[in-house]
Structure 1
Amino acid sequence: MTHTEPRSRSESVKAIFRVVGGNFLEMYDFMVYGYYASAIARTYFPSHNAYASLLLTLLTFAAGFVMRPIGAIVLGAYIDHHGRRKGLIVTLALMAVGTLLVAAVPGYATIGILAPLLVLGGRLLQGFSAGVELGGVSVYLSEIATPGHRGFYCSWQSASQQVAVMFAALLGLLLQRWMPAQAMNDWGWRIPFIIGCLIVPFVFLIRRSLQETEAFLARKHRLAAGEIYRSMITNWRIVLLGMAMVLMTTVSFYLITAYTPTFGKEVLKLSSSDVFVVTLCIGLSNLIWLPLMGALSDRIGRWPLLLACTVLALLTAYPVLHWLVADPGFSRLLGVELWLSFIYASYNGALVVALTEIMPADVRTAGFSLAYSLATTLGGSSLAISQWLIHLTGNNAAPGLWLSFAALCGLIATVLVYRDPQRRMLHRL
């Protein structure tokens, strides 16, 4: 892999900031939808059955993830052929339109069935653009990283998402304090989406200043879309193994962030303020651990962290959630979420850069994005899956079983990917 040596530390910081801005916006939009799922349910999916209304809202949230693999294939091929910079600008524009739709559509009481359909359209458009956003950002960071620091650089892709988690949670806390509950449920929940729309022009300006990576410019032959698709089919095994590895990180992330407010309020019956404080702490914990573990993976390799974290999740996910639901409270919820945050961030700090290393160079963005998007289609559905499992089993700790399954998939895939000794040494190249 070719690396660009930035002239100074300040230039490296600026490059990272410019590229992760869109990643921040993507995760911010996804988080506020999860945070205000109950209010969105009442606005767009009214029903005499509260469970059915909430489930429809969470399924609409999950629908965006169904579009991710399509976005990964279409936009991933575009980025691998036309360049990282152009592709990241296209994804931002599509994301902005989707966000505007969710923010501005009138409720079901005003325009009827058209309201949920338009919201669904906005979520599908967000999912289509997000299908390659994370992959495009991760590949860009890996290609501008200095030798021996790819893990640290790539960790900032996920770290920017944690800033979005904290920003959304802090905004939620402020709105809870400033606005009456009825006003918040009626229209106040739209404010975070409108703020997301206002951030778009700023992110667009800083993204336009991105420079193309030297690694991409140095490639003498750039595959056409058809060649990229054929290459991904040829490399189907590594794409599927990458998908299994990513499932662990997407399930754990969406459970501890987007699902926490719904789980805390609707299942554990805690206050909105308590669950927003917990979510804010999770974002801070993730932000601290991600770059630390990304840097650690540069020292010891990716696979030791990947193995250790999947084993920890497999052994502890259900027991800690069972302990939490036995006596729900703020301190228990915080303790459990911080433990799961440590596992997620330690795993993800090694995972993202690992995927950029194991994918063939000519289809690096498309292969990475497809693997990640396929996993996120399941992982992003964790909100609906968890709510369904609780309803089906009557066990409030059931989401721990879903996380355990994801950890098992990650463990098996990691063993299969890194049984080749050469792959264990990729972090040193």
Structure 2
Amino acid sequence: MTQAHQAPSPLATVIRVTSGNFLEMFDFFLYGFYATYIASTFFPSGNEYVSLMATFVAFGAGFLMRPLGAVVLGGVIDRIGRRKGLILTLLIMSCGTILIAFVPGYATIGIFAPILVVLGRLLQGFSAGVELGGVSVYLAEMAPPGRKGFYVSWQSASQQAAIMAAAALGFALNRALSPAEVGEWGWRIPFFIGCMIIPIVFVIRRHLQETEEFKARKHRPAFREILHSIAANWRLVVLGMMLVVMTTVSFYLITVYAPTFGKSVLKLSAADSLLATFCIGLSNFIWLPVMGALSDRIGRWPLLVTFTVLPILTAHPVLSWLVNDTTFAHMLEAELWLSFMYASYNGATVVALTEIMPAHVRTVGFSLAYSLATAVFGGFTPVISTWLIQATGDKAAPGYWMAAAAACGLIAALALYRPWRGSRVEATAA
């Protein structure tokens, strides 16, 4: 065996491990952007608002499976290894993706259509419960000393690449097809393309090598030991969940919900909404590794505190400015500001979460904290934002939701790091 084979390049390793993240977010974004078409196809009713709410509830249902996936699949990965576990999660995720892509509409199979769509979302949620955690832990364990923040940030950056790819594809379809054609059948094309990506991702990921840190571990905990350790460290899980609330709410607000917000609330064209979302993905893709690297140099907590205070102060005012003077340029400016705050915070958050969890249950602890935050808060951001606007009459009301999420992150960051006493997490990690 050659030395080159024994030590693949860092770039190749990052691409291999994050390929599943790309597929997951590609499908999630498509669901958010084509929510109005999915609503009319699978959840038809005489009321557009009711159909859209049902669609977003189905979207959020997948997130309710994430904590279960985090515990079950996270325990598997902590026991059998990062490589084998990530291949397993990809298999389950693929089943959900294929199911959603090929389910006939309500007009063809009746009530079975929404049931099968929800089943597909549940499968995706179960696998996604550990996909992000497994990838983040893998990147943290293979990163050179002092560069964990930079390497782990590529987990989130891969999701932004998926958003850009999906937005560009959607933009091309809107140019090539009429609105009626997109609504009838064209919206399925990106989902079919997602299915075609699946075999490529399997080929890429099967060449992953196990991390040296995991191979060096002498004891592989049984599932009962994992549950006992998680129970003993429940405070860390809760604080980790609170830390993630800001990043998951802001992410789904500026990416998955943004196209629907642009079309349904701001009354911008579908093309404008897609173009703005593409720019948001590009902004996130740039800022995430930059801020991950910055967190390696100055520490995690300065970024965590700064970029929770800023959303508390500016999220609602920025959206108010946008809805009071709606143009494509203003939507882009507002979204880019929210993107900067999200990416700056997330660049420090994900790596911090890998550092606060005990090594022997790092995957399940990370995944459970992240999944709880997503299931309870982030995953329901589209439906909560839709409800807030309807209930308050304030089109900028989603800004309050982001500010509340930032407040959770600020409390958790201060509790975990306690900068006035020295950094508890960094001291532990050292």
TM-score by length of 1: 0.97
8 Å CA contact 2:356, 2:429 repeated in 1: no
8 Å CA contact 1:302, 1:424 repeated in 2: no
For 1:389 and 1:354, locate their aligned partners in 2 and report how far apart those are by CA, in whole Å: 31
Cα distance change of structure 1 residues 79 and 8 upon mapping to structure 2, 3 Å threshold = closer
Determine if the alignment matches structure 1 residue 77 to structure 2 residue 81: no
User: Which residue type is aligned with residue 392 of structure 1?
Assistant: A
User: Which residue type is aligned with residue 235 of structure 1?
Assistant: N
For 1:114 and 1:358, locate their aligned partners in 2 and report how far apart those are by CA, in whole Å: 44
8 Å CA contact 1:37, 1:57 repeated in 2: yes
Summarize the alignment of residues 51-70 of structure 1 with structure 2, pairs less than 5 Å apart. 51-70=49-68
8 Å CA contact 1:148, 1:428 repeated in 2: no
Determine if the alignment matches structure 1 residue 125 to structure 2 residue 104: no
Summarize the alignment of residues 196-275 of structure 1 with structure 2, pairs less than 5 Å apart. 196-275=194-273
Given candidates 316, 336, 343, the residue that maps to 2:334 is 336
For 1:247 and 1:139, locate their aligned partners in 2 and report how far apart those are by CA, in whole Å: 19
8 Å CA contact 2:29, 2:166 repeated in 1: yes
Determine if the alignment matches structure 1 residue 137 to structure 2 residue 138: no
Deviation per CA, 1:252-285, whole angstroms, max 9, x where unpaired? 0000000011000000000011110100000000
Determine if the alignment matches structure 1 residue 382 to structure 2 residue 412: no
Deviation per CA, 1:207-252, whole angstroms, max 9, x where unpaired? 1100100101111111101110111010000000000010000000
8 Å CA contact 1:298, 1:428 repeated in 2: no
For 2:415 and 2:133, locate their aligned partners in 1 and report how far apart those are by CA, in whole Å: 22
For 1:156 and 1:9, locate their aligned partners in 2 and report how far apart those are by CA, in whole Å: 19
For 2:76 and 2:5, locate their aligned partners in 1 and report how far apart those are by CA, in whole Å: 29
For 1:177 and 1:129, locate their aligned partners in 2 and report how far apart those are by CA, in whole Å: 34
Residue in structure 2 matched with residue 290 of structure 1 by the alignment: 288
Summarize the alignment of residues 389-400 of structure 1 with structure 2, pairs less than 5 Å apart. 389-400=388-399
Aligned pair count reads 425
Given candidates 309, 323, 326, the residue that maps to 2:324 is 326
For 1:344 and 1:197, locate their aligned partners in 2 and report how far apart those are by CA, in whole Å: 29
Unaligned runs of 5+ in 1: 1-5
8 Å CA contact 2:356, 2:425 repeated in 1: no
Q: Secondary structure at the match of 1:41?
A: helix
Summarize the alignment of residues 182-201 of structure 1 with structure 2, pairs less than 5 Å apart. 182-201=180-199
Q: Report how far residue 428 of structure 1 moved.
A: 7.8
Q: Secondary structure at the match of 1:380?
A: helix
8 Å CA contact 2:61, 2:122 repeated in 1: yes
Determine if the alignment matches structure 1 residue 155 to structure 2 residue 153: yes
For 2:263 and 2:427, locate their aligned partners in 1 and report how far apart those are by CA, in whole Å: 44
Q: Report how far residue 426 of structure 1 moved.
A: 5.0
For 2:307 and 2:90, locate their aligned partners in 1 and report how far apart those are by CA, in whole Å: 32
Residue in structure 1 matched with residue 356 of structure 2 by the alignment: 358
8 Å CA contact 1:298, 1:427 repeated in 2: no
Residue in structure 1 matched with residue 165 of structure 2 by the alignment: 167
Percent identity for Structure 1 against Structure 2: 64
User: Which residue type is aligned with residue 424 of structure 2?
Assistant: R
Q: Report how far residue 421 of structure 1 moved.
A: 2.4
Residue in structure 1 matched with residue 424 of structure 2 by the alignment: 423
Q: Report how far residue 329 of structure 1 moved.
A: 1.1
8 Å CA contact 1:301, 1:424 repeated in 2: no
Q: Report how far residue 327 of structure 1 moved.
A: 1.5
Q: Secondary structure at the match of 1:381?
A: helix
Q: Secondary structure at the match of 1:425?
A: helix
* Runs of 4 or more consecutive aligned structure 1 residues displaced over 6 Å after TM superposition: 6-10
Q: Report how far residue 180 of structure 1 moved.
A: 1.1
Residue in structure 1 matched with residue 343 of structure 2 by the alignment: 345
Residue in structure 2 matched with residue 95 of structure 1 by the alignment: 93
For 2:50 and 2:92, locate their aligned partners in 1 and report how far apart those are by CA, in whole Å: 30
For 2:46 and 2:423, locate their aligned partners in 1 and report how far apart those are by CA, in whole Å: 58
Q: Report how far residue 427 of structure 1 moved.
A: 9.6
Determine if the alignment matches structure 1 residue 414 to structure 2 residue 422: no
For 2:42 and 2:128, locate their aligned partners in 1 and report how far apart those are by CA, in whole Å: 23
Given candidates 33, 38, 41, the residue that maps to 1:40 is 38
User: Which residue type is aligned with residue 423 of structure 1?
Assistant: R
Deviation per CA, 1:296-328, whole angstroms, max 9, x where unpaired? 000000010000000001100011011111121
8 Å CA contact 1:301, 1:427 repeated in 2: no
Q: Secondary structure at the match of 1:42?
A: helix
User: Which residue type is aligned with residue 289 of structure 2?
Assistant: P
Residue in structure 2 matched with residue 3 of structure 1 by the alignment: none
Q: Report how far residue 10 of structure 1 moved.
A: 6.8
Q: Secondary structure at the match of 2:9?
A: helix
For 1:215 and 1:424, locate their aligned partners in 2 and report how far apart those are by CA, in whole Å: 20
Determine if the alignment matches structure 1 residue 12 to structure 2 residue 10: yes
